[in-house]
Homo-oligomer: A and B are copies of this chain.
């Protein structure tokens, strides 16, 4: 990993064209070949970058750039599909490199998957008498998060989101349309479940006869812990 602090000007031509006037910035060159140009804000997002795979070549500035802007060196970073990131360096204030080695990597504890698993274990949270038939029930247009059956024996398709938005309702609608065409399943009703559900999603769901349920993640986790203590 190479860290360069320099006054520089940057020009990107690719999926868009962008220009950064001369200013002092951090240029980060990683072992994977990626190059990113950071200002002292915008959190972790660089002003400009090139994702790997890409190649970097260093060249002399043309006379004009050298005289007008004091450019001493030009980096050309080029990706496979022709995108280019050109960094014109005028004054290098810092330049170091470090061997980091490969990272053992990140261990994540997801939320949506966990939410789905918890609801699969406690389907009655979504309504009295509901019982699990299957998780990730496959339809031709994708998997339904949970397939349940109610006390009357009718099927219930459940879409689980951490944050329920309009797209999720559209998705569940498509599943329901399809499943209700299957005589072996019909009638199938829908439940849209989420930790949060946006107002528009609530309205659209209700308008389409789909129930929506707010899920209390912490309470569900609590039930889970209670179970663990019992056994």
Contact yes or no, B52 A103, CB < 8 A: no
State whether A98 and B104 are in contact (beta carbons under 8 Å apart), knowing that A32-B41, A51-B43 are contacts in the complex.
no
A18 beta carbon closer than 8 Å to chain B: yes
Contact yes or no, B51 A18, CB < 8 A: no
Chain A, 52-100, CB within 8 A of any chain B CB: 52, 93-94, 96, 98-100
Measured CB to CB, the residues of A under 8 A from B are: 1, 3, 5, 15-21, 23-26, 28, 30-32, 34, 36, 38-49, 51-52, 93-94, 96, 98-111, 167, 170
A64 vs B106: C-alpha distance when bound (angstroms): 23
Which residues on the B side are within 8 Å of A17 (C-beta)? 108-109
A101 vs B103: C-alpha distance when bound (angstroms): 32
Contact yes or no, B45 A44, CB < 8 A: yes
Which residues on the B side are within 8 Å of A103 (C-beta)? 20, 23, 25, 39-41, 47
Contact yes or no, A100 B24, CB < 8 A: yes
Q: Which of B16, B47, B106 contacts A110 (CB 8 A)?
A: B16
A98 vs B106: C-alpha distance when bound (angstroms): 29
Closest to A29 in B: B40
